[in-house]
């Protein structure tokens, strides 16, 4: 495999060692395996942003950690010296490219994402709904409609939301199981309830 850097908008943002950030595609649900494999090489820096959330299972709520960008991670390496090694690492499908154009990611974008993720590159998504939070109805006849939480009800697993329906705002009481938080992906929002 012969690859060469080809950028439409100037040179990549290399650091003092001639490295730049690239997006690496992994096998599905194997982002952590690819990251561990790439981290064995001290000349490759890996950033795998992950989210941790409480999700509903058949046995009840369970904490789950998964990649923020499913099937992707970021790696900083010297393109000429390490492309083949990165491309052929375990659980890696390849480095993202478009023909002979290999896009790089600015250091500032990675740093901003790292700040948003917090310690250990993991962002914990709370399962507590807040008044004023935007949600999406996840089941029932109002499925897919967007709403705003107006009240957390002390009763058994209920929440009051305000939604726009048939051209007017309507207040509706729903089960927590019917409401999904509008985060990066849709996750059940009231898992602590039931």
Across all residues in the chain, what is the average pLDDT? Answer: 80
Q: What is the mean pLDDT of residues 133-152?
A: 80
Most confident range (mean pLDDT) of 17-31, 59-73, 147-161 is: 17-31
In sequence order, what are the residues at sequence separation of 6 or more whose Cβ sits closer than 8 angstroms to the Cβ of residue 73?
23, 24, 26, 31, 34, 35, 38, 46, 47, 48, 67
Instruction: For residues 166 and 137, give the distance between their C-alpha atoms in angstroms, rounded to a whole number.
Output: 16
Q: What is the mean pLDDT of residues 43-68?
A: 84
Residue 31 has pLDDT above 90, yes or no: yes
Residue 121 has pLDDT above 60, yes or no: yes
What is the phi/psi pair of residue 49, to 5°? -70, 135
Q: Which residue has the higher pLDDT, 50 or 173?
A: 50
Residue 127 has pLDDT above 80, yes or no: no
Residue 35 has pLDDT above 80, yes or no: yes
Q: What is the mean pLDDT of residues 30-51?
A: 95
Residue 174 has pLDDT above 90, yes or no: no
Instruction: For residues 163 and 170, give the distance between their C-alpha atoms in angstroms, rounded to a whole number.
Output: 5
For the chain, how many residues are written?
194
pLDDT in tens, 69-108: 999 999 999 999 999 999 999 999 999 999 989 999 999 9
Q: Which residue has the higher pLDDT, 180 or 49?
A: 49
Most confident range (mean pLDDT) of 16-20, 109-113, 130-134 is: 109-113
pLDDT reported for residue 185 = 40
**Domains of the chain, start order:** 20-124 (3.30.70.940), 134-193 (2.30.30.30)
């Amino acid at each position: 495999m012969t690859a060469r850097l080809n950028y439409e908008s100037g040179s990549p943002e290399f650091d003092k060692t001639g490295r730049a950030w690239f997006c690496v595609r992994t096998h599905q649900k194997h982002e952590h395996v690819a990251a561990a494999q790439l981290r064995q090489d001290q000349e490759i820096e890996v950033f795998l942003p992950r989210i941790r959330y409480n999700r509903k299972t058949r046995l009840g709520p369970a904490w789950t950690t998964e990649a923020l960008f499913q099937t992707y991670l970021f790696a900083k390496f010297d393109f000429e010296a390490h492309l083949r090694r990165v491309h052929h690492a375990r659980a890696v499908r390849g480095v993202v490219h478009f023909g002979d154009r290999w896009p790089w990611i600015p250091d500032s974008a990675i740093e901003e994402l790292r700040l948003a993720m917090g310690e250990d590159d993991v962002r914990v998504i709370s399962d507590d709904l807040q008044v004023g939070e935007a949600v999406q109805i996840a089941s029932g006849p109002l499925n897919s409609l967007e709403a705003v939480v107006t009240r957390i009800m002390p009763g058994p697993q209920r929440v009051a939301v305000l939604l726009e329906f048939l051209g007017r705002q309507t207040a509706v009481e729903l089960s927590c199981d019917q409401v999904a938080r509008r985060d990066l992906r849709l996750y059940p929002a009231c898992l602590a309830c039931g």
